[in-house]
Every structure is written in C-alpha cells, then in structure tokens.
C-alpha cells in the first residue's frame, strides 16, 4: 500500500509562516550569531543542490519523505 506524500499534518507544516528572531537570546545570554543570515542562507542553498533554481526538478527528485 502506497503512503500518501501529502497528508493533512504535512499540509499544515508547509502552510505555516515562521519568523525567527534571536534578540531574546542576545538580551538574556549575550548571544550573537556566528554566521550572518544572508551567509547562512547562501551556505544552505549550496549544500542542497536540488534546491537551487538552476537545477531542473522532477517528480522523482529528492524528498525528505521518500527515505
């Protein structure tokens, strides 16, 4: 039996908008990020070549749910 790729719980996760802010960690702990946001995003995109816009996508490409 094939398991559905898109379930109600996954739909809720995909449709959420999240914004992260480390100001509380900075205020309380003196934390400052080691890597700036823009640089972190660049590194993340480079580490996941299948997420880059110039790589054609297919229906049978990488998926965190197909493992």
* 3-18: average pLDDT: 81
The set of residues, in sequence order, having a beta carbon less than 8 Å from that of 62 and lying 6+ positions away, is 50
Which conformational region is residue 37 in: left (phi greater than 0), alpha (psi within -120 to 50 degrees), or beta?
A: alpha
Distance CA 5, CA 61 (A): 13
Q: What would the pLDDT profile of 22-61 be if each residue is shown by its tens digit?
A: 999 999 999 999 999 899 989 988 888 876 666 555 555 5
The set of residues, in sequence order, having a beta carbon less than 8 Å from that of 65 and lying 6+ positions away, is 5, 10
pTM assigned to the model: 0.43
Identify the pLDDT of residue 27: 96
């Amino acid at each position: 039996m094939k398991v559905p790729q898109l379930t109600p719980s996954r739909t809720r996760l995909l449709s959420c908008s999240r914004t992260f802010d480390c100001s509380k960690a900075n205020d309380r702990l003196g934390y400052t990020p080691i890597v700036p946001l823009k640089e972190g995003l660049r590194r993340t995109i480079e580490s996941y070549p299948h997420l880059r816009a110039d790589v054609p996508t297919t229906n049978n490409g990488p998926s965190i749910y197909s493992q």
